[in-house]
Amino acid sequence: MQINSHPGELTMINIISQPRIRNDTMDTLSSRIQNGDVPAVCRSCEARHGGVCSALTPAQLVELSKHSSRRTIDAGTEFIGQGESISSYSNILKGVVKLSKVMADGRQQIVGLQFAPDFMGRPFLGESRMAAEAAIDTEICVFPRRAIERLIAETPGLEHLLHSQALKELDEARDWMLTLGRKTAQEKVASFLALIASHSDPEAEEKSMFELPLSRADIADFLGLTIETVSRQMTKLRKEGIIQIENNRHVTVPDLGRLVAAAGND
């Protein structure tokens, strides 16, 4: 296990003494929650609105926050191993996590990308069927397995929320199966870029600019290709004017429509 905990940010208790950040906006968004009762740590937390915590009452938040802790995970560090037993769940607060499977001989496939404020963990199963690794610097809020499972049992809304997320991930996985099984290399790369664009800039209609959260090697593992093929297809898309590449990681898409067409989704 290679979790990096920054001093003064590891536990909830330490964070409580920090100044609240962006509190005004949060209050606006969460008119239905009584902020006075919500733990201070949670008040500035994104996950309280989109993540698991949005299904909890203030009293439950208080209880859960006693057992949870924030962690910062550096890019490239694996924090759950394939086949490892699971003793905790977590919420992604910031960053991107890749879920991957490895074969005995080392062949690897990324089977999912998770963004904030996704919930991570496989409920009702003792061990992880894949590895989780931070693709870029990432912050998560970790809950002990026991606490979450108790909350699920007593809060139907929470199970509904996790069920919805599982269905969303299932839809994504099946979309990706079509990409892996039937698309050409160019379509695969375009599909990946379209996926990232839609996540980093959900309401963009035409133009989009973003930082790729994955290296070429990661992209290859996500698309079932090699690094070289990914690179060639990126240059091909660039020469066709569908994308512009600044710093290897920074991509501009002048016309999302053309990108989506190149991805084979017409």
Partner DNA sequence: GATGCGAATTGATCTGCATCAAGGTTGCGG
Partner DNA sequence: CCGCAACCTTGATGCAGATCAATTCGCATC
List of residues contacting DNA (CB under 7 A): 184-186, 215-217, 224-232, 234-235, 245, 247-249
Closest contact distance (angstroms) between CB of 244 and a second copy is: 27
Rounded to an integer, what distance in angstroms lies between the CA atom of residue 38 and that of residue 57? Answer: 9
Does 164 bind a second copy (CB under 8 A)? Our answer is yes
Are residues 169 and 97 in contact, defined by beta-carbon separation less than 8 angstroms? no
Dig out the tokens for 56 from the structure. Answer: 């909890």
Does 16 bind a second copy (CB under 8 A)? Our answer is no
Does 29 bind a second copy (CB under 8 A)? Our answer is no
Residue from the set 22, 107, 207, 250 that interacts with a second copy by CB under 8 A: 107
| Residue 181 interface partner, choices a second copy, DNA, none, CB cut-off 5-8 Å depending on type | a second copy
Closest contact distance (angstroms) between CB of 116 and DNA is: 22
Closest contact distance (angstroms) between CB of 231 and DNA is: 3
Rounded to an integer, what distance in angstroms lies between the CA atom of residue 201 and that of residue 259? Answer: 15
Closest contact distance (angstroms) between CB of 130 and a second copy is: 7
Closest contact distance (angstroms) between CB of 182 and a second copy is: 4
The maximal CA–CA distance of the chain, rounded, in angstroms, is 56
Specify the residue, 117 or 121, whose C-beta has the smaller distance to a second copy. Answer: 121
Are residues 74 and 4 in contact, defined by beta-carbon separation less than 8 angstroms? yes
Residue from the set 123, 147, 209, 227 that interacts with a second copy by CB under 8 A: 123
Specify the residue, 125 or 217, whose C-beta has the smaller distance to a second copy. Answer: 125
Does 111 bind a second copy (CB under 8 A)? Our answer is yes
Binding-site ranges for a second copy (CB under 8 A): 99, 101, 103-105, 107-109, 111-112, 122-125, 129-130, 156, 159-160, 162-164, 166-167, 169-171, 173-178, 180-183, 223-224, 264, 266
